[in-house]
Amino acid sequence: MRLFWSTCPKCLKAFVVEWALRHAGRQLICPYCGNRYLPDESAAIDDRYAE
Amino acid sequence: MPKAKRTSGQAGGGAPRSLSSYLDLIRDDPAEFRTVSRTVNPLKFDVTAVLEQLDRRGEFPTVQFENPLNLHGEPSRFPIVANLWATRERCAEACGLPRSEAGRQLGSRFAELVGRKHEPVVVSSDNAPVQAHVYQGEKADMWMLPAVRHFEMDLGAVLTMGLVAHAPGENFYNITFTKTFPESGRRGGFTIHTPHMTRMWKAWERRGERCPVANVLGHHPGFWLGTLTNTPWGDNEYATAGGFLQEPVRLVPSVTWGKDFLVPADAEIIIEGEIVPGERTIVNPFGDISLQYQAQQLAPYMEVTAITHRENAVFQDVFSGHRDHMLLGSIAREGTIFDHLKQKLGNVVAVHMPFSACGRYTAYISIKKTDEGQAKQAGLQAIAHVPNLHVAVVVDEDIDVFNEEQVLWAVNFQVDPRRDIDLIKNLRPGNDPRGIGSSRVIIDATRPTHIAFPTRLRVPPEDLERVRLEEWLDPIERSAR
């Protein structure tokens, strides 16, 4: 299953997200501070992937 | 105000089995049961910090937290109990075995109990302890519960116990462990990882109808072990759970749907709710069985219709990613594989799912081999029968599958990787949420019989029997200089 790491733009902590949410237009919820934001608003994204 | 009802009139004269009745059996033994009386905040990791430290000390008592806060941050009316399944000995007791038979006997006992079904009986609400208190409408607030946030990256508090459902038009029930995230008092997203339960709620969703579910937060440990069996579609898991309880599960019409949906009368707390078709919400991360976080994802959610609980109810939690969680599933899988191989091949001796693979992903299987090829057959059968089993290591009967050193010795010295390791591709179940691959491995670590091959060294057994340490070793004071 493909994953990516999103870094919350508010608290700058990273958490793991299913790839299906990367372009779904749904807000992520930071588990550390509760901030809701779109994936493209992440402070950083690690979406490296290999088959 | 909660609706209070009479709780007397138990069937059969004796008290039916419940979590409370089980806790009464162990609460006087400090090795098995400990309490924490100070106020704990389960959202701030007070609960899991206690359990983690006990785990690191190699101590695995069931722990009851007497004074937790609920999700509103107020004192909860419900104590939390966790670590119920954290030792094989307690699991053996829950299956009606003596504690001394917690090894290979436990798997075969599990297999035996799977076939010993008791049809459930229906009692009235007046005879159902779980409906002593009933909350509906706005008063049915999940945040009254002391739900536990387990790990630092978890999205929040999680209800870790089981969900009951049935398919539209069917009269059998499926019960499976799920994770419910109470995002508000009346709504909770949840993840489902078993094929039958997934099939059920998707059947409701295809019809555009709300799927009725009951989240059961606490019952006798035997009830839960019975729900973990790999039963065929159409089996009523209340009947299977009754086999494990060794008495019929008592059911009561639910508050929301009446006799159209029956719930366990002797549970501690039940949340009744409906899965909303076509809607999804955010759940996870959650620190799960593989000691990794399940990724944030979209999942279905339920809207709460009622909450009921017994007098002096206890809120049950599973300490995920630890012994409590590992044994809960591993014993069921050991029994399932043992039973399946016994029926298919007849040469299985013992099955163990080790903690090193979280009690899920690797099976050590010993067989009485009479011909080459039997080990691979056993491994194939096990992998085909148990979802998420990644590695099957098959050894001879003289290797103790509960002794990992012996198993890994066999892997190191009886396996030619080119000949004895088989890779099976593209077997990932569709609902596997983890970021791991779809391949599986069978390792035939039995001693080859078709070629000349060394044997494992040993001191002659008759001499081990003859030389008794207590007679032959000098006393300690004489050995010391």
What is the average pLDDT value for chain B, to the nearest integer? 91
Q: What is the pLDDT of residues B223-237, one digit of tens each?
A: 998 888 878 899 999
Which residue in B296, B301, B388, B439 has the most chain A C-beta atoms within 10 A of its own C-beta, making it the best mutation to test that interface?
Answer: B296
- Global pTM reads 0.90
Q: Which residues contact B122 (CB under 8 A, 6 or more apart)?
A: B250, B251, B252, B253, B259, B262
Q: What is the pLDDT of residues B302-313, one digit of tens each?
A: 999 999 999 999
Confidence category of residue A50, pLDDT binned at 50, 70, 90: confident
In sequence order, what E strands does B123-236 have?
133-136, 162-165, 174-177, 179-182, 187-191, 211-216
Q: Average pLDDT, stretch B440-464?
A: 95
What pLDDT is attached to residue B72?
Answer: 97
Q: Which residues contact B35 (CB under 8 A, 6 or more apart)?
A: B63, B64, B65, B66
Q: Average pLDDT, stretch B289-318?
A: 96
What pLDDT is attached to residue B386?
Answer: 87
Q: What is the pLDDT of residues B368-399, one digit of tens each?
A: 999 999 999 999 999 998 878 999 999 999 99
What pLDDT is attached to residue B7?
Answer: 30
- Please tell me which of the candidates A1, A27, A32 has its beta carbon nearest to residue B433: A1
Proportion of chain B above pLDDT 70, given as a percent: 95
Assign residue B73 a region: left if phi > 0, alpha if psi is -120 to 50, beta otherwise? left
What pLDDT is attached to residue B2?
Answer: 32
SS3 content of chain B, % helix, strand, coil (to 5): 30, 25, 45
Spatial contact of B173 and B249, defined as CB atoms under 8 Å apart: no
User: Does pLDDT of B5 surpass 50?
Assistant: no
Q: Which residues contact A6 (CB under 8 A, 6 or more apart)?
A: A14, A15, A17, A28, A39, A42, A44, A45
Question: B155 and A29: CB-CB below 8 Å?
Answer: yes
Question: A26 and B298: CB-CB below 8 Å?
Answer: yes
Q: Average pLDDT, stretch B24-37?
A: 92
Q: What is the pLDDT of residues B31-50, one digit of tens each?
A: 899 999 999 999 999 999 99
Lowest-confidence segment of A3-12, B98-107, B226-235, B472-481 by average pLDDT:
B472-481
What pLDDT is attached to residue A51?
Answer: 66
- Please tell me which of the candidates B282, B293, B298 has its beta carbon nearest to residue A16: B293
Which residues does chain B have within 8 Å of residue A27's beta carbon, measured at their own beta carbons? 282
Q: Average pLDDT, stretch B277-298?
A: 94
Tokens of B399: 């290797």
Confidence category of residue B437, pLDDT binned at 50, 70, 90: low
If we measure between CA atoms, which residue out of B363, B343, B366 comes closest to residue B440? B363
Q: Which residues contact B138 (CB under 8 A, 6 or more apart)?
A: B186
What pLDDT is attached to residue B429?
Answer: 56
User: Does pLDDT of B11 surpass 60?
Assistant: no
Query: Distance from B296 to chain A by nearest Cα, in Å?
Result: 4
Question: B296 and A27: CB-CB below 8 Å?
Answer: no
Question: A31 and B298: CB-CB below 8 Å?
Answer: no
Q: What is the pLDDT of residues A27-46, one digit of tens each?
A: 999 999 999 999 999 999 99
Q: Does A27 touch chain B (CB under 8 A)?
A: yes
Tokens of B171: 């009269």
Q: What is the pLDDT of residues B71-108, one digit of tens each?
A: 999 999 999 999 999 999 999 988 889 988 888 888 88
ipTM of the complex: 0.98
Q: Does A29 touch chain B (CB under 8 A)?
A: yes
What pLDDT is attached to residue B9?
Answer: 34
Which residues does chain B have within 8 Å of residue A21's beta carbon, measured at their own beta carbons? 296-298
What pLDDT is attached to residue B43?
Answer: 96
Proportion of chain B above pLDDT 90, given as a percent: 77
Is the pLDDT higher at B478 or at B463?
B463
Which residues does chain B have within 8 Å of residue A3's beta carbon, measured at their own beta carbons? 295, 435
Question: B285 and A16: CB-CB below 8 Å?
Answer: yes
User: Does pLDDT of B324 surpass 60?
Assistant: yes
Query: Nearest 5°: phi and psi at B242?
Result: -65, -35
Q: What is the pLDDT of residues B202-214, one digit of tens each?
A: 999 999 999 999 9
User: Does pLDDT of B156 surpass 90?
Assistant: yes
Q: Average pLDDT, stretch B426-448?
A: 75
